[in-house]
């Protein structure tokens, strides 16, 4: 039985760091283990221009504790007013690594997102021309579509037509939660990849709703039934380079989660690697963890893997993770998979 594993240092291809006191509180949780992360732009106001991205990157680097190495990979928030020339300039400068498409109303701070895809076609055409990936929150927001069907309907009504129309567009379907999403990314022709979160590998909607409502498991896209969770686990552990880690670690303070109308987001930066080792061991795929967490993402984004490593060791004693992270913005509850974790990051 394998009890120790060394990987190239992993990266997180979908991360929310927020700003100000929250940024200062959560950034070390990611930087401790991860080399780089794709930084989500859904601040208030959002990160829309190259100048916004540069200023946000500088705030992230200023919040990084001395002695920690971490590279934020910036993104722009696509709006119907986004200027293709500004996007191309920010890309040419090496400042941004992707643009994020939020359908308006899909999730936290998505009100500036896209209502009419026609309005952003000039940006998407420019991105296809320069090879800049589009990261997509793949859910429709129409009121008549059930929340558990939003991802599946998006594939048929938005994503596939868009990719047929613009086959050169490089697409990352983010935080996939359904077997249909997995099938789409597995089988589609052309340039497509998908990220999978830590929490969607570990929980399904029963964990969130049976025996009481657990607001710290509420996120978007919302966790689906167990058969979908199984499809995600199979894809993540398959070795298929189209799939890689994007934690979607998304901190909200406890009062905003534990509320009559709680925010969507799971905060998993701190214990993600212990969680992933647990899942990959359960699926007898520990030898594929490095691909998922450390190799497929850089390959997709045209970057070399990190040149440092991390080592995990399985011990008899569980890892003593805190229940909450204390930040200047308030307490943030850490993702609790509901059982102890035995894989310790030791170096
Ligand atoms: O659960 C989520 N939280 N899903 C998202 O798409 C956004 C994120 C956030 O920003 O809190
Ligand atoms: Zn997200």
Number of helices and strands in the chain (H, E): 14, 13
User: d(Cα 47, Cα 36) in Å, to the nearest integer?
Assistant: 19
The Å distance, Cα 2 to ligand 2 centre, comes to 33
Please give the model's pTM, rounded to 2 decimal places.
0.98
| Residue 6 pLDDT | 98
Q: Give the domain ranges of the chain.
A: 4-345
Atom number of ligand 1 nearest to Cα 42: 10
Per residue in 161-194, pLDDT (tens digit) is 999 999 999 999 999 999 999 999 999 999 999 9
| Residue 110 pLDDT | 87
Looking at every residue in the chain, the average pLDDT score rounds to 97
Neighbouring residues of 2: CB distance < 8 A, sequence distance ≥ 6: 281, 286, 314
pLDDT beyond 90 at 223? yes
Tokens of 152: 């599946």
Atom number of ligand 1 nearest to Cα 137: 6
Residue range 4-345 in CATH 3.40.50.1820: no
User: d(Cα 72, Cα 75) in Å, to the nearest integer?
Assistant: 9
Q: Is 244 helix (H, G, I), strand (E, B) or coil?
A: strand
pLDDT beyond 90 at 325? yes
Contact 137, 174 (CB under 8 A): yes
Per residue in 76-117, pLDDT (tens digit) is 999 999 999 999 999 999 999 999 999 998 888 888 899 999
Query: In this structure, which ligand is nearest to the CA of 110?
Result: 1
| Residue 115 pLDDT | 93
Phi, psi of 284 (to 5 degrees): 45, 55
Known catalytic residue at 58: no
Per residue in 125-156, pLDDT (tens digit) is 999 999 999 999 999 999 999 999 999 999 99
The Å distance, Cα 40 to ligand 2 centre, comes to 7
- For ligand 1, whether the C-beta of 220 sits within 6 Å is yes
Per residue in 31-74, pLDDT (tens digit) is 999 999 999 999 999 999 999 999 999 999 999 999 999 999 99
In degrees, rounded to 5, the angle at the alpha carbon of residue 114 between the alpha carbons of residues 108 and 22 is 25
- For ligand 1, whether the C-beta of 273 sits within 6 Å is no
Q: Is the peptide bond before 221 cis (omega within 30 degrees of 0)?
A: yes
- Per-residue pLDDT band at 326 (split at 50, 70, 90): very high
């Amino acid at each position: 039985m394998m009890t120790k594993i060394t990987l190239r240092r992993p990266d997180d291809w979908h991360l929310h760091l927020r700003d100000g006191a929250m940024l200062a509180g959560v950034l070390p949780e990611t930087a401790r283990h991860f080399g780089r992360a794709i930084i989500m732009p859904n601040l208030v106001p959002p990160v829309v221009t190259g100048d916004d991205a540069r200023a946000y990157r500088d705030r992230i680097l200023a919040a990084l504790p001395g002695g920690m190495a971490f590279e934020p990979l910036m993104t722009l928030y696509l709006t119907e007013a986004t200027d293709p020339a500004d996007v191309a300039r920010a890309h040419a400068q090496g400042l941004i690594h992707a643009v994020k498409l939020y359908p308006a109303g899909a999730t936290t701070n998505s009100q500036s997102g896209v209502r009419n895809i026609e309005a952003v076609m000039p940006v998407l055409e420019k991105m296809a021309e320069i090879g800049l990936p589009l990261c997509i929150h793949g859910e429709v927001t129409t009121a008549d579509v059930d929340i558990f069907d939003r991802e599946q309907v998006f594939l048929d009504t938005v994503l596939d037509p868009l990719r047929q129309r613009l086959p050169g567009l490089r697409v990352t379907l983010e935080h996939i939660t359904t077997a249909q999403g997995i099938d789409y990314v597995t089988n589609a022709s052309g340039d497509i990849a998908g990220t999978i979160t830590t929490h969607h590998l570990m929980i399904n909607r029963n964990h969130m709703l049976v025996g009481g409502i657990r607001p710290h498991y509420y996120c978007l896209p919302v966790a689906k039934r167990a058969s979908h969770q199984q499809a995600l686990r199979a894809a993540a552990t398959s070795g298929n380079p189209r799939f890689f880690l994007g934690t979607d670690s998304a901190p909200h303070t406890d009062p905003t989660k534990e509320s009559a109308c709680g925010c969507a987001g799971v905060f998993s930066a701190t214990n993600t690697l212990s969680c992933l080792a647990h899942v990959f061991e359960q699926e007898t795929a520990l030898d594929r963890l490095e691909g998922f967490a450390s190799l497929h993402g850089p390959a997709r984004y045209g970057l070399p893997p990190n040149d440092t490593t991390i080592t995990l060791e399985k011990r008899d004693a569980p890892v003593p993770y805190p229940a909450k992270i204390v930040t200047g913005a308030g307490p943030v509850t850490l993702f609790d998979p509901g059982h102890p974790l035995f894989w310790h990051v030791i170096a």
